[in-house]
Amino acid sequence: MYLLLSSETNQAADFLSVTAKLAGGFKTTLLLFFLTLLFAIPFGLLFACISRMRFKPLRYLMRAFIYVIRGTPLLLQLMIVVYLPGIALQKPITKWEIFHQNVPLAYFCGALFAFSLNYACYFAEIFRGGIENIPKGQYEACEVLGMTKTQTFFRVILLQVIRNIIAPMSNEVVTLVKDTALARTVSVIEIFFTASEILRLQFIIWPLFYTGAFYLLFSALLTLLFGILEKKLSRYWK
């Protein structure tokens, strides 16, 4: 592809060095992606459970929180996490003890926090939908068979929930891959930041478009993975 994209000067080195630079940025993208999933899935489950609780105040509080997070842009949430501690509380995020004056680390953790919370809320709604989609009859049947609630959930309900949520989850996970590009606004040096930096310093435009190849390749991997998962799970019902 570089043969097509490079029209005039010194290319081979350029293409390789740009690829290396972008790959460096993509590492940060992937780190943000995987760590967000790592935190967002368990918290999503927790949020889903809380938003289905019988204890009303907690349930409504949880639902209100999910509403706020889902109702505001992730971009805004990123800015709140990174700037508000300094502006409102006089406790700038970069100067928190745990970050040891490491500014990039502070920003990355801030972004990770915002992403995890945001995706946990989306996941919570997917999980809740998946659980509530299980027909009441199944619970009744389990009760008749004398199964405890825990047994019912883990032996009968859970796998069906997983099957129910696979498609919406794959959707959300692929969206997350691309949403990580927002982190550049709070100085997280991910692939898009790297590409615009190359543009600003070397005045070459194609690396911006070239980032698309990285996202596409990774999304293809994820799609494949979810495809396999879906097939494996559907075996039990066909």
The Cα–Cα gap between 225 and 203 comes to 37
> Is 60 a binder of other proteins (CB under 8 A)?
no
> Is 4 a binder of other proteins (CB under 8 A)?
yes
> Is 98 a binder of other proteins (CB under 8 A)?
no
Pick 26 or 215: Cβ nearer other proteins: 215
> Is 185 a binder of other proteins (CB under 8 A)?
yes
Pick 138 or 202: Cβ nearer other proteins: 202
Site string for other proteins, 211-230 (x = CB under 8 A): xxx-xx--------------
Q: Which stretch binds other proteins (CB under 8 A): 43-51, 90-98, 117-125, 145-153?
A: 90-98
> Is 152 a binder of other proteins (CB under 8 A)?
no
The minimum distance between CB 4 and other proteins, in angstroms, equals 5
Name residues contacting other proteins, limited to 64-83 (CB under 8 A). Answer: 79, 82-83
The minimum distance between CB 99 and other proteins, in angstroms, equals 11
> Is 182 a binder of other proteins (CB under 8 A)?
no
> Is 107 a binder of other proteins (CB under 8 A)?
yes
> Is 206 a binder of other proteins (CB under 8 A)?
yes
Residue holding tokens 């550049």?
Answer: 184
Three-state SS annotation for the chain? CHHHHCCCCCCHHHHHHHHHHHHHHHHHHHHHHHHHHHHHHHHHHHHHHHCCCCCHHHHHHHHHHHHHHHHCCHHHHHHHHHHHHHHHHCCCHHHCHHHCCCHHHHHHHHHHHHHHHHHHHHHHHHHHHHHHCCCHHHHHHHHHCCCCHHHHHHHHHHHHHHHHHHHHHHHHHHHHHHHHHHHHHHCCCCHHHHHHHHHHHHCCCHHHHHHHHHHHHHHHHHHHHHHHHHHHHHHHHC
> Is 115 a binder of other proteins (CB under 8 A)?
no
The minimum distance between CB 176 and other proteins, in angstroms, equals 14
Name residues contacting other proteins, limited to 6-45 (CB under 8 A). Answer: 7
Nearest to 27 by CA among 193, 169, 172, 199: 193
The Cα–Cα gap between 140 and 163 comes to 21
Which residues lie near other proteins (CB under 8 A)?
1, 4-5, 7, 79, 82-87, 90, 92-95, 101, 103-104, 106-107, 178, 184-187, 189, 193, 196-197, 199-203, 205-206, 208-213, 215-216
